[in-house]
Amino acid sequence: MEIEKIISQIEQQKNLPNLNLSIKTKTEAFTHKLFYTLFDKQTAVKDNLMELGMDFEVLAKLVCWEPGSPCQDIWKDYLQMLPGILEKLNLDAQAIAINDPAANSVEEVYLSYPGFFAIATYRLSHEFYKFGLPLVPRLMTECAHSITGTDINPGAKIGKSFFIDHATGVVIGETAVIKDNVKIYQGVTLGALTVNRTLRNIKRHPTIESNVTIYANATILGGETVIGANSVIGGNVWLTKSVPENSMVSHTPQISIKNSIEK
């Protein structure tokens, strides 16, 4: 096949005029710069905030191609929220340091814990999501997802002092609600019962009340499912119904252990 024909066939199928892959790379750079601005002691806050404002202006022009998209003045309003977001993130870091005996310092949490990076990126993206900014919030959380293996949709509502241990494989859906002082371990899914486009804008992910602990690989599904406060959900549990507060839910597999050496 002649090269001109190949080129023509490829170009004919590139029919999404607003599909610009630089949006993804620019959003990833923007996310990392935000993280440095808030946490790195050596980073000049004033200079970085000015650079971030210019970076955001570029991003806004790339993603707000629909008429009436809410991009004007978002950065100015978002700036007002950054101190409050940082306050919540510091509480998250302290919760991890207090609850994980493997944490040697709060600095270690900021520098090395994938769960903290995922939570931080979620909180930074969530306010953009609430503004209705297209694409950027989702790309921010996908940046954390690719690095940490933790998938938190920016639309989820998460309270104070949130702790994700080990992080890998955690999935938190768009309409999930998580109250204060919740602890989640690796492999936990807070998902929907079914995947159907007609469920858009309907609550389809569970609500986790305050002071709940959810151990590894538990799966909790459904928009009407509520895990009551102070409950403990054991590892590998599969839940599609609510449980009352102060509950302990466990999954008991049948395990057989035999000596493999015959005597």
pLDDT (tens place) for every residue of the chain, 263 residues total: 699 999 999 999 999 988 999 999 999 999 999 999 999 999 999 999 999 999 999 999 999 877 766 676 799 999 999 999 999 999 999 999 999 999 999 999 999 999 999 999 999 999 999 999 999 999 999 999 999 999 999 999 999 999 999 999 999 999 999 999 999 999 999 999 988 888 788 999 999 999 999 999 999 999 999 999 999 999 999 999 999 999 999 988 877 788 777 65
φ and ψ at 231, to 5 degrees?
Answer: -90, 160
Could you tell me which CATH class the domain 169-250 is placed in? mainly beta
Return the CATH number of the domain spanning residue range 19-148. Answer: 1.10.3130.10
Check residue 68 and give its pLDDT.
Answer: 67
Closest alpha carbon to 182 in 219, 225, 228, 214: 214
Please report the DSSP string for 8-66 in residue order. Answer: HHHHHH---TT--THHHHHHHHHHHHHHHHHH-TTS-HHHHHHHHHHHHHHHHHHH--S
Check residue 262 and give its pLDDT.
Answer: 65
Check residue 55 and give its pLDDT.
Answer: 96
The DSSP call for residue 243 is B
Question: How far from chain centre, in Å, is Cα 82?
Answer: 17
Check residue 69 and give its pLDDT.
Answer: 65
Beta bridge partner(s), residue 189: 171, 219
Check residue 74 and give its pLDDT.
Answer: 93
Q: Indicate the domain borders of the chain.
A: 19-148, 169-250
